[in-house]
């Protein structure tokens, strides 16, 4: 039912109309905000110019023998074009087989290991190349090529500095090297971005 405001106090009409529009706008903004992802309070945001790496959030994200630090990133530090990670793999540990549509560069700070590199030109990754990497080497991953970094040393940690483009990263994970590219499973946000970018929830 639509009701017209009383004629009395017509001089205040414009003010009342403006007030009503303000209430409507506030309601619309509140409704829109309810659909936006809200960063969890545990999101480690830090826009300091100089940061102490030893004081940064470090976690294994449920992977034994693994450590990850986002040295500078899109969600925690406001980076637009690149993101930098410091990762350590214990003896025998490895990343999942995965691919992503961003550029990725590794610098090996200590230890040695193996880069396993598949192909994006076939329907599935195929038998990977096994490429040795070691301290003071650097290597880059072709965009969308499936790969895996493995600490193949039995005694020493493998520590790498990783630089990626186009953050935050979207990763497609393979169960093995014979899985078709179309069957790889998207993981987004990735584990270390989950506190800052919650996954969208299905609405009934």
> What does the pLDDT look like over 54-80, one tens digit per residue?
999 999 999 999 999 999 999 989 999
Q: How confident is the model at residue 43 (pLDDT cuts 50, 70, 90)?
A: confident
Looking at the chain, the whole-number percentage of residues with pLDDT higher than 70 is 76
Report which of 59, 61, 114, 68 is spatially closest to residue 92, judged by C-alpha positions: 114
Taking the C-alpha atoms of residue 201 and residue 204, their distance in angstroms, rounded to an integer, is: 10
Range name among 2-11, 94-103, 179-188, 194-203 with the lowest pLDDT average? 2-11
Question: With a threshold of 0.85, does the pTM exceed it?
Answer: no
Structural domains in the chain plus CATH codes: 56-187 (2.60.120.10)
Looking at the chain, the whole-number percentage of residues with pLDDT higher than 90 is 71
Pair 152, 67: CB distance under 8 Å:
no
Structure tokens at 122: 């076939």
CB atoms within 10 A of CB 77: 18
pLDDT (0 to 100) of residue 47:
83
Residues at the binding site are 98, 100, 104, 147
DSSP, res 202: P
Residue 38 has pLDDT above 70, yes or no: no
Q: CA 100 from chain center: how many Å?
A: 11
CB atoms within 10 A of CB 127: 10
pLDDT (0 to 100) of residue 20:
53
pLDDT (0 to 100) of residue 21:
57
Mean predicted confidence (pLDDT) in 172-191: 97
Contacts of 139 (CB under 8 A, 6+ apart): 105, 106, 115, 131, 133
Residues in the chain: 204
The string of pLDDT tens digits covering residues 132-171 is: 999 999 999 999 999 999 999 999 999 999 999 999 999 9
Contacts of 58 (CB under 8 A, 6+ apart): 67, 68, 69
Q: CA 186 from chain center: how many Å?
A: 12
CA end-to-end span of the chain, whole Å? 30
Taking the C-alpha atoms of residue 113 and residue 155, their distance in angstroms, rounded to an integer, is: 11
Q: String of b and e for 161-193 (b: at least 16 CB within 10 Å)?
A: ebbbebbbbbbbbbeebebebeebeebebbebb
The whole-chain average pLDDT of the chain stands at: 84
Residue 201 has pLDDT above 70, yes or no: no
Residues at the binding site for Zn(2+) are 98, 100, 104, 147
């Amino acid at each position: 039912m639509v009701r017209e405001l009383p004629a009395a106090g017509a001089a205040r009409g414009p003010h009342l109309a403006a007030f009503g529009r303000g209430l409507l706008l506030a309601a619309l903004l509140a409704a829109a905000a309810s659909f936006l992802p809200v960063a969890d309070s545990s999101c480690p945001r830090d826009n300091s110019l100089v940061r102490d790496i030893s004081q940064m959030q470090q976690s294994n994200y449920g992977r034994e023998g693994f450590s990850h630090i986002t040295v500078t990133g899109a969600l925690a530090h406001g980076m637009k074009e690149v993101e930098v990670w410091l990762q350590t793999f214990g003896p025998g540990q490895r990343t999942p087989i995965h691919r992503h549509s961003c550029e990725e560069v590794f610098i090996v700070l200590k230890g040695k290991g193996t880069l396993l590199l598949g192909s994006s030109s076939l329907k599935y990754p195929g038998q990977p190349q096994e490429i040795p990497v070691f301290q003071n080497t650097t290597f880059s991953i072709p965009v969308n090529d499936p790969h895996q970094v493995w600490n193949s040393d039995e005694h020493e940690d493998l520590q790498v500095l990783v630089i990626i483009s186009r953050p935050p990263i979207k990763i497609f994970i393979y169960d093995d090297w014979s899985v078709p590219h179309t069957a790889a499973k998207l993981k987004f946000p990735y584990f270390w971005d989950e506190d800052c970018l919650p996954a969208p929830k299905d609405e009934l």
